[in-house]
Amino acid sequence: MKLIAPSILSADFTRLGEELRAIEAAGADWIHADVMDGRFVPNITFGPMVVEAVRRVTALPIDVHLMIAAPERYIADFARAGASTICVHVEACIHLNRTVQLIRDAGVRPGVVLNPATPVESLRWVLEYLDFVLVMSVNPGFGGQAFIPNSIARIAAVRRMISEQGLSTLIEVDGGVGAQNIGEISAAGADVFVAGSAIFKSPDYRRTIEDLRRLAGG
Ligand code: DX5
Ligand code: ZN
């Protein structure tokens, strides 16, 4: 099952409620919410208050991607705001295992994110505790960037590690995903596809999501 997760980073925030209803009606599977603190990444977006507002508008799972330093400080807040999944960056966590546990104890499905230059090997001893791995295919911080080509090999390496450990962990991919590359990304082993500009800059959300799903093979 291939899942499409529109990133609201590229939505029109003056009409966020309408945008959410439109992507839900268009067949989105997850709502991807990019939280940035101006420190872990060079951009600032929004916090739990906006996630809580999103929760009131949609019944879809909200996938909270924390691009913040020391994310353990805010897990409880995002859980309370209605996050369905929360993922934290390997690079931002000193005690990654503890932070993953904190997410699960808060009743939220945990994921771990790898920046483009972070060794896939860093997942080895945490993988069995995760519901999903998020492979960044751009340097986090902004929408609309170009897909980094060796992300395909990294996705395949994560897929191999998941099979070797006999797990059913999902692989999510984030950054520069669109009709031009989703087939190849899917073939490398990805299950969940974040798409910001590819969906929100398109004239017909339903058509775009259907095309992406078809090109991803299901
Ligand atoms: C980047 C964010 C992405 C972003 C993707 O830091 O994590 O979720 O919204 O945007 P596109 O799909 O436009 O590359
Ligand atoms: Zn993201």
Q: Is 34 a catalytic residue?
A: yes
Tokens of 147: 């897909």
In tens, the pLDDT along 58-89 reads 999 999 999 999 999 999 999 999 999 999 99
- Residues 6+ positions from 21 with CB-CB distance below 8 Å: 57, 58
198 pLDDT above the threshold of 90: yes
- Measured between alpha carbons, how far is 29 from 46 in angstroms, rounded to an integer? 22
pLDDT in tens, 6-42: 999 999 999 999 999 999 999 999 999 999 999 999 9
Q: Which residues of 73-103 are buried (b: 16+ CB within 10 A; e: fewer)?
A: ebbeebbebbbbbbbbbbbbbeebeebbebb
145 pocket-lining for ligand 1 (C-beta < 6 Å): yes
CA torsion through residues 199, 75, 1, 117, sign: positive
Q: Is the confidence at residue 218, as pLDDT, over 90?
A: no
43 CA: nearest ligand 1 atom? 6
CA of 163 to the centre of ligand 1 (A): 27
State if residue 198 touches ligand 1 by the CB under 6 angstroms criterion: yes
Query: CA–CA separation, 36 vs 62, rounded Å?
Result: 16
Q: CB within 8 A of 207, min separation 6: which ones?
A: none
Instruction: Check pocket membership of 217 for ligand 1, CB cut-off 6 A.
Output: no
